[in-house]
Structure 1
Amino acid sequence: MKRILFALLIVLCSGSLFAQTNDSIPRLDSKTKNALNAVDQIAYQMALRYNDRAMAKAKLYDLMSRNPEDIRYMEALTSLYFEAGQTASAALVALDILELNDKSIGALEIAAYSLEQLGALDRALPQYESLYLLTGDNFSLYKSAFLQYSLKRYEEAINSVNMLVKNAKADEKIGFPISETETQEVAIKAAALNLKGLIYQDQNSLAEAKSAFQEAISLDPNFQQAQENLKKVN
């Protein structure tokens, strides 16, 4: 994992590798280019049909190198990496897409989740923040608040939590792991209040933390994590 993170940081610091190599790509006449594209697109579809992900990725690399202006192939590649659990590769391709189109929802989702899984929380946070600004999705706002809390950016975290408490709909849910195999779904507003309690607890404001945990439980009486957190501050 350390080697993966080190490699990821090197590429992040050097900027978009894809953008850097475009100028060195040989130019083909349009007829030849279109013919090669057609063959590679057929091969890509066949590779997907026969579940040959390695060949599918190889054909996407051919298409990307020949068509650097067309981000559809990069989007397909980052999805393949993401579905295969190759989070470092998925993150790197998604970040290159965002260099070309910073409003790509799919790339933002993959970059945010993958970077979070890799432990690069400071890099994942702006992706979740951008997702919320573009979509208004409260799950992205919750993830932003949680990462702000994890990074000890408490003032920002409280602001995000307060926005979520104000805007969350009654039927919106979020999953919390309660064991290695089980997840409990709770109201996202209750989850936000539980997070608010954790923020106050970190700042040693135990009365405010207790109040937030109690409010979370009043909204969702079966919320196990909030119940456990309340016991710790009593």
Structure 2
Amino acid sequence: MERSPVAGGVGHWLRRSTAGTGRRWLLVAVLVVGAAAAVLVAVAAPVPTVAVPASAAQLLMSVLVPLSGVLLAQEWARGPGGGGAGPVVLAAASYAAAVALLGFAACVVAVALVPSAALGGPATVVAVALGGIGVQVTAQLVGTGLGFLLRRPLVAFLGTVVLPLGVWLTLGALGPLAWLRAWLTPFGATPPLLTGSPSTPEVVAWLVVLALWGGALNAAGVWSARRRPVT
């Protein structure tokens, strides 16, 4: 059976996500940061469930993960422009999901090695694992969106922190509108996913943020990239 063009494109960009020494070292750095955070949190204090080290690990990892998305999106933008951007985004999201699961596995190992730590019930474990995927995919799609939109990798990567943080701080400074941070910013919407028991409104808020920062930002970025001359 022949592979579909979309599947072939996703496979191509997945291979590109770890192509070259620099991108491989980026992956190693992300996983080392996550594992180190999980171990330090598990050792530092009694841990009631895996959600505690997972929160620290996944949130720290999410700072570095978008760089891989930036690089993929900018590589696509520098190409001839014949192919669609969908496989790039799907590959970047798949990469982020795999990183999230590896980070979660590190948290499970850390909890298992520390006598004072507890893993939690099956529902908590599954919820935290899925929450980690949500965190990393959200962060990654901010990276691809800014990668499509901006020419310089460093500027785009810094934007993955500065732009969401700036919106989060601005809404917080507005007092009565601070509650919008949970509905409009990744920093407000993703932490509840790692508690092990996010509420329905918290999940809906994250979906809204994913649509804005993942969907709308990437659509704007692809539109802008297609209008630029190929270099």
- Report the TM-score when normalising by structure 1: 0.25
Determine which structure has the larger helix proportion and give its number: 2
Q: Which has the higher strand share?
A: 1
Normalised TM-score (structure 2): 0.25
Higher relative contact order (CA 8 A, sep 6+): 2
